[in-house]
Amino acid sequence: MAWIVLVLSGVLEAVWATALAKSEGFQRLWPSTVFALALLLSMAGLSYALRTVPVGTGYAVWVGIGAALTATYAMLFGGESAGVLKLLLLAGIVGCVAGLKLTH
């Protein structure tokens, strides 16, 4: 159960990071609200998962999921470039996250 919560918390990290960018310095209400809610839920989920998952592994998985999803979203919908090297490096992050789960 902790791993499922950890993955969902990583997804929420991507949500709050994206909402933070869209809030324009907390000047827009709805992105700011989404940011605050997603941040709260993401941290609560990370905290729950770290009761069982080792902190180094859990934090690395949480950050890796959030970073990979945030970058992917930015490439698909935010106008960020999506070169072959960038996609390979993101795949590397995903592979490392999966490897951390497998070695746990």
Sequence-distant (6+) residues with CB within 8 A of 18 are 70, 73, 74
Length of the chain: 104
Is 104 a residue whose pLDDT tops 90? no
Is 1 a residue whose pLDDT tops 80? yes
Name the H helices within the chain.
2-22, 29-49, 55-77, 84-103
| Total number of domains in the chain | 1
The range of the structural domain enclosing residue 83 comes to: 2-103
pLDDT of residue 88: 95
Query: What does the pLDDT look like over 57-95, one tens digit per residue?
Result: 999 999 999 999 999 999 999 889 999 999 999 999 999
pLDDT of residue 100: 86
pLDDT of residue 42: 98
pLDDT of residue 101: 84
Query: What does the pLDDT look like over 17-55, one tens digit per residue?
Result: 999 999 999 999 999 999 999 999 999 999 999 999 999
